[in-house]
Amino acid sequence: MKHSVFVTRAIPGSGIQMVREKFEVDVWDNKFPPDRDEIASRARNCTGLISLLSDPIDAALMDELPNLKIVSQYAVGYDNIDVQAATERGIMVTNTPGVLTDTTADLAWALIMATARRLVEADSYVRGGNWKVAWGPSLLTGQDIHGKTLGIIGLGRIGSAVARRAKGFDMEILYHTRSRNHYTDEVDDELGGRSVPLGHLLSESDIISMHVPLNEQTEGMIGKDELFSMKKSAILINTSRGAVVDEESLIWALQNGEIWGAGLDVFEEEPTQEDNPLLSLNNVVVAPHIGSASIDTRSKMGIICAENLVAGLKGDKPPNLVNREVIDND
């Protein structure tokens, strides 16, 4: 049987070409994502699906795709996919970890620096024609980064890459994570990092960066109490998933000076609405979910996504299989 594959958006690089050489490929060629019904109808007979994090792949959709064998996600996070439902239906789910680790850690750092040093405000100030006095003793003063304490919530691949970058800034590194792993050993041994309870991290850190996946345990884990316990000079960075922070509480904290600033690449709802109060706050730097958005990384993600898909459809174990039970159960 010739496999056919639906790709929910044109993705950059040679990944799709690799899939085209082996299987029949249909690519959704619109800058807006297909809605659920459009995915259901275009992928109806497909054995493979390449999905993005904006595509809700739920049980009901899977039931409309009876031939589906693999969902190859073009992202490391896969909270848009009901993995349990996929496993129950014998559908493999894969993701693209690894390649985007350093690119996402770079963006977390870009947000740390832009927020702490008020870079976006400074840029608007100059472009807006406000620079009338050559040098101002208190003009756009921000927070130091060097020598401060960085608190990392979720110390996996990306969290540890963010920690590694802090070394050049002579920072103290605290982290809070679900379980010990080789990243925690590396951060302890090489960077002098310390694993601490969440409350300790929140009250002692100057910059707090979120690196947890979104799931039932992490949803809303930073709410009013957690924000209240942070320093008033604290900066919160989120490049993971918007919903790990309760956005309403974050707005409250930023408006009331409970924390000093925030750098956000992710939101509870994406795209966020133009009237989101976060967008009217000067102490917030925002980006439209571009953590992995370097030209090289987005192309490599396409190749990994293709390799996972090809392996799965050929009957091999995909290199980045998320639900290994699907194979173990066979």
Identify the burial level of 204 via C-beta atoms within 10 angstroms of its C-beta, where 0-12 means exposed, 13-18 middle and 19 or more buried.
middle
Instruction: Answer yes or no: are the C-beta atoms of 26 and 42 closer than 8 Å.
Output: yes
CB atoms within 10 A of CB 214: 19
User: Which 3 state secondary structure label does DSSP give 134?
Assistant: coil
Instruction: State which of residues 211, 236, 272, 298 lies at the interface with ligand GLV (CB under 6 A).
Output: 211
Active site residue 241: yes
Buried b (16+ CB within 10 A) or exposed e, 30-59: eeebbeeeebbebbeebbbbbbbbebbbee
Q: Which residue is nearest to ligand GLV (CB)?
A: 156
Least distance from ligand GLV to the Cβ atom of residue 136, Å: 38
Q: With respect to ligand GLV, which residue has the nearer C-beta, 77 or 142?
A: 77
- Determine which one of 3, 9, 176, 241 is catalytic: 241
Span interacting with ligand GLV, options 62-70, 152-160, 170-178, 317-325, rule CB under 6 A: 152-160
| Strand ranges for the chain from DSSP E | 4-7, 24-27, 48-51, 70-73, 92-94, 149-153, 172-176, 194-195, 207-210, 235-238, 261-264, 284-286
Compute the distance between CA of residue 235 and CA of residue 233 in angstroms, rounded to an integer.
7
Span interacting with ligand GLV, options 71-79, 114-122, 189-197, 272-280, rule CB under 6 A: 71-79
Instruction: Answer yes or no: are the C-beta atoms of 125 and 145 closer than 8 Å.
Output: no
Active site residue 20: no
47 lines the binding site for ligand GLV (CB under 6 A): no
Number of residues this chain uses to bind ligand GLV (CB under 6 A): 14
Instruction: State which of residues 19, 43, 75, 210 lies at the interface with ligand GLV (CB under 6 A).
Output: 75
User: Which 3 state secondary structure label does DSSP give 113?
Assistant: helix
Q: With respect to ligand GLV, which residue has the nearer C-beta, 116 or 266?
A: 266
- Determine which one of 9, 157, 211, 289 is catalytic: 289
Which residues contact residue 268 at a Cβ distance below 8 angstroms, ignoring those fewer than 6 apart?
Answer: 242, 243, 247
Active site residue 270: yes
298 lines the binding site for ligand GLV (CB under 6 A): no
159 lines the binding site for ligand GLV (CB under 6 A): yes
Residue 236 tokens, joined = 């919160």
Instruction: With CA atoms as reference, report the closest residue to 102 among 235, 266, 300.
Output: 300
Instruction: State which of residues 13, 15, 34, 77 lies at the interface with ligand GLV (CB under 6 A).
Output: 77
Q: Output phi, psi for 71, to 5 deg.
A: -110, 115
285 lines the binding site for ligand GLV (CB under 6 A): no
Q: With respect to ligand GLV, which residue has the nearer C-beta, 53 or 114?
A: 53
292 lines the binding site for ligand GLV (CB under 6 A): yes
53 lines the binding site for ligand GLV (CB under 6 A): yes
Residues that bind ligand GLV (CB under 6 A): 53, 75-77, 97, 100-101, 156-159, 211, 291-292
What residues act catalytically?
241, 270, 289
